Structure 1
C-alpha cells in the first residue's frame, strides 16, 4: 500500500484560507488526514501556515489544483 503526503505552504493563510478550504472540500473523500501547522513567535501568530494532507491514491487532481495557488511538495511511501 502506498501512502501519499501532500505539503502545502500557505504564505498568506488569512487571505487564502477560504479558497484552500473550498478546494479540499471538493476532494474531501480523497483526504484521510489533515494537519495544520503555523509558526508563532511569543504573542504573535504569523500569517504563514503549512498544511499536511494524507491522501488515498496519488492525489494527482488535488495536487494540480493546489499548485495553481501555493507551493506544494509531495512525499510518497511504499
Structure 2
C-alpha cells in the first residue's frame, strides 16, 4: 500500500488559477486532501503558489490529473508515492 501526493507549483498563479481549478474539479473524486499555500497578505499577493494533493484511486487517474495540470501554462507537477 502507498500514499500518493501530487505537488503542484504555479509560477503564474493569477493567470493559471482558473485552469488549475478546472482540472482539480474535473478530478475531484480522486482528491482526498488539498492544501494550498501562497505568500500573500491583502494587496501584496504573490504570483507563485503551491498546492499539495493527497490522491486516491487508480494510478491512471492520477496520471490523467497530472497531465491536465501540466497543460496549464506556468504550472509544474510531480507525483510522489510514499510506501506505507
Same fold (TM over 0.5): yes
In 2, the alpha carbon distance for the partners of 1:74 and 1:15 equals 23
Listed as ranges, the gaps of 5+ residues in structure 1 are none
- Structure 1 residue 40 displacement after superposition: 3.8
When the two structures are aligned, how many residues end up with a matched partner? 77
- Structure 1 residue 39 displacement after superposition: 2.2
Aligned partner (choices 60, 64, 74) of residue 61 of structure 1: 64
**Does the alignment pair 1:11 with 2:11?**
yes
Question: Which consecutive segments of 4 or more residues in structure 1 shift more than 3 A?
Answer: none
Structure (1 or 2) with the greater strand fraction = 1
In 2, the alpha carbon distance for the partners of 1:49 and 1:31 equals 18
The equivalent of 1:20 in structure 2 is 20
In 2, the alpha carbon distance for the partners of 1:74 and 1:45 equals 27
Listed as ranges, the gaps of 5+ residues in structure 2 are none
- Structure 1 residue 15 displacement after superposition: 1.3
